[in-house]
Amino acid sequence: MKQRILTVLFTIAITIVFVAPISFVYLLTKGQVALNEEVFLKRAVLAAAGITVPLANAEVVSLFSARAEEVKAGDDAPASYRITSEAGGEPAGYVFIRTGPGLWGEITATVGFDAELASLTGVDFLRQSETPGLGARISEKWFTEQFRGKKGPFTTVGEGEPASESQFDAITGASITSNAVMSILNSTISQAKGLVK
């Protein structure tokens, strides 16, 4: 009996001893993790707005607060941002955060439009769990930057082929991911006017 109680006490004690440092490390890095998330979102919004994103975190934060402003459309509406021109005042464009199904999980994208909502200023991805090396390449620069200045609705062409104003280069070996991106973009384009109100 005594042996059993000792075993239970040992298990409890060892759990406390080992969980304490984890809590400590967690608390120590909590601020940094939250900052990483915040900067990541701000980078994606700025990149979608077609603005060159600086490397340093602090610069990203200050540039964001100078150029972007969250627009509250309603509780259910996805987040959207109004981008002001460099001089300030007049809106230079809009960025919407949109989610759609991908191959393995949801893809969340930031989609940027010019002030007339006529053409795209850029696209970036906030969350995606596509196949590394295949679908996950949607996060690469060559893929996200090809949308700048284009008008939808989109169809796709093969990777590396020249694309017109309403086409984008799909990724070889990742047709489902490419089509998922296409449907997120096309639905955003068709609903853009309604999202700004």
Partner 1 sequence: MADIAARAPAPAVRKAKKPRSKAAKAFFDGIGKNNPVFVQILGICSTLAVTNVVKNTIVMCLGLIWATAMSNVSVSLLRKWIPARVRMIVETLIIAVWVIIVDIVLRAYMPDISRQLGPYVGLIITNCIVMGRTEAFGLANPPGLSFIDGVSAGLGYSYILLIIAVIRELMGSGTLMGIRILGPWWTNWSIMVMAPSAFFLLGVLIWIVRGKILKEEKK
Applying CB under 8 A, which residues contact partner 1?
3, 6-7, 10-11, 14-15, 18-19, 21-22, 25-26, 29, 32-33, 36, 40, 129, 131-134, 136, 172-173
> Nearer to partner 1 by C-beta: 12 or 77?
12
The minimum distance between CB 50 and partner 1, in angstroms, equals 22
- E strands, 38-163, are 68-71, 80-84, 91-101, 106-114, 120-127, 155-157
Q: How far is the CB of 4 from partner 1 (least distance, A)?
A: 9
CB of 172 to partner 1, least distance (A): 7
Smaller CB distance to partner 1: residue 42 or 150?
Answer: 42
Peptide linkage before 162 cis (omega within 30 of 0): no
C-beta closer to partner 1: residue 18 or 86: 18
Q: Which residues contact 19 (CB under 8 A, 6 or more apart)?
A: none
Cα separation, 172 vs 145, whole angstroms: 17
Quote the least distance from Cβ 24 to partner 1, whole Å.
10
Nearer to partner 1, 7 or 166 (CB): 7
Distance separating alpha carbons of residues 181 and 21, to the nearest angstrom: 42
Strand extents, DSSP E, the chain: 68-71, 80-84, 91-101, 106-114, 120-127, 155-157, 167-169
